[in-house]
Amino acid sequence: MTVTDSAVTPDIHTTAGKLADLRNRQAEAQHPSGEAAVEKVHAKGKLTARERITALLDDGSFVELDALARHRSVNFGLADNRPVGDGVVTGYGTVDGRDVCVFSQDATVFGGSLGEIYGEKIVKV
Q: What is the CATH number of the domain that holds 61?
A: 3.90.226.10
CA distance 25 to 14: 16
pLDDT over threshold 60, residue 4: no
Full-model pTM: 0.68
Whether residue 36 has pLDDT greater than 70:
yes
CA pair distance 44, 61, nearest whole angstrom: 28
Mean pLDDT taken over the chain: 81
- Edge to edge, the sheet with strand 98-105 lists 63-65, 88-95, 98-105
Mean pLDDT of 16-41: 81
Residue 75 is assigned to a structural domain of this protein: yes
Mean pLDDT across the stretch 44-64? 94
How many structural domains are present in the chain?
1
pLDDT band at residue 1, thresholds of 50, 70 and 90?
very low
Q: What is the pLDDT of residue 107?
A: 80
Question: Has residue 15 been placed in a domain?
Answer: no
Q: Let me know if residue 114 belongs to a domain.
A: yes
Contact 125, 101 (CB under 8 A): yes
- Cα separation of 1 and 14, whole Å? 12
Structural domain includes residue 101: yes
Neighbours of 124 (CB within 10 A): 13
Does any domain span residue 86? yes
Res. 2 pLDDT band, cuts 50 70 90: very low
Q: Could you list the residue range(s) of the whole structural domain that residue 52 is in?
A: 46-124
User: Does residue 54 form part of some domain?
Assistant: yes
- Confirm whether 22 is domain-assigned: no
Q: Quick one: which of 45, 51, 68 has its CA closest to 102?
A: 51
Asked if the model's pLDDT at residue 123 lies above 90, the reply is no
